[in-house]
Amino acid sequence: MRPRGLPGRAPAPARQPVGSDAGGAGRGLPARHRRRDPQRHRQPGPAPRGGHAVSQLAGLLSPAVLPGVITGLLLAVACGALSVPAVVRRLAFAGQGVSHSALGGVGLAAALSGAGLISAGGRAELAVVGLACVGAGVAIGVLSGRGRTTEDSAIGVILVATMALGSLLLSAARAGWFGPAQRVGARSWEQIMFGSMLLSGPREAYAAGAAALVSLGALWWLRRPLCVWLCDEESARGAGVPVGALRVGLLGLLSGVIVVAVQAVGVVLASALLVLPGATALALAPALGLGVRGASVASCCLAVAGVVGGLAVAFVHSLPVGPSVVGVLVALHALGRAGSAARVGWAPGRRRAGVGQRGGGPGPSRTIGP
């Protein structure tokens, strides 16, 4: 017997079976016997990409970026409207020559800025670039009009000459040949070639809107003689349509739009917007039964789709805007040609009648009408 007054032993705690831990998740047991809480030890998974992409695309509507987006869309409408006439009348290469001649204007503006005659990035620089484009167009017309030089050769000569001159003048101005290099603008070759669409301000948006209004208004005013000229040049001459005046007017419209586009979206993107939408629309015209007006509307829609798609790709994947827009336009052109070939049918060794052809041979078109 235990003497009185001595404390007795405390009762031993009841032993619980392993794995039946009610509140401690196996505390006091070896680590290999502890029961893991699936909620506490679950690894965080990747965030859903859909919401992240939508939030990134919403940034296109921010006040800092919205003027650039509007500028790109307005230029897409202006260039898309002129793309079909330029491609049909084989003025697309002339448009590329005029757009690349803007490099000569940029170099000349840099030299004048270094000399202190104009301010970099102002209206005077835009005027110099515009005069360079107009001068290139006049030079192409003079060289090809004498008959000794073909139009393609004249365009090639003016293109390489103006690009080389612009590069030399820009390098010399940045080296301080004409004055302090601080006066020269800080635009890089990438910005000159592909532009900086999202850095455009209200001034560029207003200029793009004016270019779109002038282009659409002129095409609407000249729609009847223009359709006749685009469908059949010989018939247009016989009907008394001023073919020469239409050609000069179309070149003037191309030059004006190019001047505005080069400042906002760069040389390469301006050339792409003037060529690819019209070429894609004309490739789809036989399959969809489109005339000149329908192809022009389709060209505008394709140009806008290219700009919107390029902006979306650039924002979601953090890529440059200009090359992204060009890539989307090229992809649309490839899809358009593939879809047209699949619908119309591809006959190897036989050319189908199309723009500039009658019955598969050279001559006016019978598949593209007003």
| Annotated domain spans of the chain | 65-340
pLDDT digits (tens, 9 = 90+) for 230-273: 888 888 888 888 887 888 788 888 888 888 888 888 888 888 99
pLDDT digits (tens, 9 = 90+) for 46-91: 444 445 556 666 666 777 788 889 999 999 999 999 999 988 888 7
Lowest mean pLDDT among 149-163, 242-256, 345-359: 345-359
Query: What is 65-340's CATH topology?
Result: ABC transporter involved in vitamin B12 uptake, BtuC (1.10.3470)
Residue 146: Cβ within 10 Å count? 9
Query: 11, exposed or middle or buried, with CB in 10 Å at 0-12, 13-18, 19+?
Result: exposed
Question: How far apart are the C-alpha atoms of 143 and 67, rounded to whole Å?
Answer: 40
